[in-house]
Structure 1
Amino acid sequence: MRTPRPTLRLRLTLFNAVLLVGSLAVFVLLAWLLVTDALRPADQLVPGTTVVLADGRELDAAAWQDGVVEQASRELLVKALVALLAISVVGVVGAYAVVGRALRPLQQVTSTARRLGEQTLDQRIGYSGTGDEVAELAATFDDMLDRLSASFEAQKRFVANASHELRTPLAVMRTEIDVTMADDTADLAEYKRMATVVRDASERANGLFDALLVLASSEAQSGRRLVRKVPRDLAEGVCAALSAVQAETRRLKLDVRTALDPAVVVGDPSLLDRLAGNLIENAVRYNHLHGRLWVRTGSHGSHVVYLLVGNTGFEVDQADVPGLFEPFRRGGRERTGARGSGLGLSIVRAVADAHGGTVSAVAQPGGGLEVTLMLPAADTPLPVAASPVRRN
């Protein structure tokens, strides 16, 4: 069983009382020493000197001095102890009240934290006192609640959007199967058409599952040590991603230009390759016929490397650009048919965060987007990757 401990208010009050009583005791001691030292004028007289009191008595000066010092010391001690007791009582009571008032926001923090739940994240302390440490703590707690509330809302939207995205291909598959099975006149061609639709819908669902797994893995490693940390040149991932979309770039007759200088980082190779792949896939998916695609990698000094991917396309409002990095947000209109899962840039941001980097995007005049990724450079560079310049 845990032994009860005094409250913070009581401990602060007792600490204040000890300081107050100790200071007063030292003051009384100094006053007593000063008085006893000052009341010795007879020490300067000739031995045997006598003094005549007002009542006519004649006393030895030394004896008279000892009596005066003793009486003054007694009165000083009695009055000082009474004053010490009175001041101590007033000081302790006052300290208890002041400390209680100062700690009131902490009680509000505690009561608010006890009431908090998923449905009560809108509650705040709202402390409006002076700008002291307690006010700073209350404000920090309110800021934390704001972040928690925003995180919960984002999670709710993510779950709702993910459910909707998964429900769509499943509904398509079920509808196609039910309609075809209910048609008694359906022939082999109709069943082949149904199988094609079901396959496309299952591929869409499988792609969404894969994207969700990558996003979850990236966000889980954000702010922590990466599971894998090996040198990787971003230029190599760009070359692999460009090869994967080569058929689509040829179909759209895109003008692809690359300038791939070494951009070596330390991290998870699969996540870094997925990052480059998502950027290039988006640049192709949201492009148009006879459009342009440009990719550059390199370094800024010896500590930062970059990956820049830009594309032409339909116009994107710069005010809408930050929202493109949120899950299931798609900018502009459909470019090349399938619009993807809406997780591409979300994965890019999560991977960048996991590797201690940043990602930003700028809407291009006339349409399109240019995304710039900045990552910490590796200490040991790798061999230069091939950096072709292609024109389709």
Structure 2
Amino acid sequence: MLRGGTVGRRFTILYAAGFLGSGIVLLALTYLMSGVRSTTPAEPSPGASDLTAAREQIRALQSQLADAHSRQEHRWVLASLIALVVMAGLSLVLGRVLAGRVLRPLRLITAATRRISAENLHERLAVTGPADEVKELADTVDGLLERLEASFVAQRRFVGNASHELRTPLATMRASLDVAVAKPDPAAQTLALAGRLRTELDRVDHLLDGFLLLARAEHGAFTDRTLVTLDGLAREALDARAPDITAKGLAVHTEVRPAVRTHGSTALLSRMVQNLVDNAIAHNEESGWIRVTTGGDGGTEARLVVETGGRVLDQGEVDRLGRPFERLGAARTGSEASSGLGLSIVAAIVAAHGGRLVLLARPEGGLRVTVTLPSAAPGRETVTT
């Protein structure tokens, strides 16, 4: 019993058990001490004629005294048990009150810590009072928050600096290639090399975009929250990739319900849907199929589901696809068509919007990706489709 439940419940039970144990020991000692009776006075030495009558009288008095003592013991034991039961109830109530007062600072610390997130790491518990164990715990948590804030600030600063420092050499290399190709009568080898370098530069640029977007989503660093419709984002993503879908001969089935809304960043949610569609196209078989569904429970959840056919996948490998650079099977070591950040970016965006991502290997083959986000009722805000 003591290993389960809350700390307050355990404190209450321990206090009540200690009180009852002390009461039982005290009553037992009192009962033992009350058993020490005074000795019966010596019988007098009457004459021979009165000896028999005196003995009968003494026996009668001793019997009455024993009966009275027995009744007194029974009443004392009964009263002690009633008092013990009453005090047991009072000890539970008093123990609960004392446990609540003792644990109240810890509850305040827990509530304050839960309110602190990546967006308000500057806040502190700032517990005042005597220098006891509770204040030491609060000061330790404040120190941890301070270190976390410094780490988050350093990461955000790195993301900002990297976006400038890395794009400058990429732009310089692209300009150098354009200059080399623009010369009169460039050699065939120069044109071939320029084409390969442009492809690699595009991959690096795409990878850099993925890094920056992943960092932004993981830090929750977006203030462009608005009312977004998932059905509109799904249609836009499918329309944008229509040439690739046609080139691969994929059949697209849509069950898109209108007015499936959520609050969030339009740019991030659009990238989330694009990555899901891109993943469904890139990791699909020729002449395969894609099914896109939007819906919800009509109240608190907005749902987007993207399904594909294909070979049977291992659920253990599928569970790792939300991590950066994780790929299925032989593609895990590298791929010309994938950076390995697509689904990890999706997972970060979903988490930043308070949703959940479920990756399921279909028993018939292929993958089912379900994104569940908090639903938003339509209001006066601008709806982005």
- Calculate the TM-score normalised by the size of structure 2: 0.50
- Calculate the TM-score normalised by the size of structure 1: 0.49
